[in-house]
Amino acid sequence: MGSGVFEIVDTYSPDTYRAVYTVKLGQSLYVLHCFQKKSKRGIRTPKKEIDLIRRRLGRAKEMESGL
């Protein structure tokens, strides 16, 4: 996803949840997206979720720079 973007994965029987966040924007911590992983196969994050996270990361960078 990019430098400074981290993913936390937690399994709460029987579901899996993911929170994607970034910590490298000044003094701020931005939570970009949280979701429940529905697929029982594979570990890949769906493209629609990645696209949403990228849009929100762009917006967070704009907010941090004062735009």
Q: What is the pLDDT of residues 1-56, one digit of tens each?
A: 566 777 777 777 777 777 777 767 888 888 888 887 776 677 778 888 889 989 99
Tell me the C-alpha distance between 24 and 30, whole Å: 9
Task: State pLDDT tens for residues 7-16.
Answer: 777 777 777 7
Residue whose C-alpha is closest to residue 24's, from 46, 5, 1, 50 = 5
What is the predicted pLDDT for the residue at 56? Answer: 92
What is the predicted pLDDT for the residue at 62? Answer: 92
CB under 8 Å to 38, separation ≥6 — which residues? none
> Residue ranges of the domains in the chain?
5-65
Which is more confidently placed, 59 or 13?
A: 59
Instruction: Tell me the pTM.
Output: 0.71
Residue whose C-alpha is closest to residue 38's, from 18, 8, 20 = 18
Q: What phi and psi values does residue 63 have, to the nearest 5 degrees?
A: -60, -40
Q: What phi and psi values does residue 52 have, to the nearest 5 degrees?
A: -65, -45
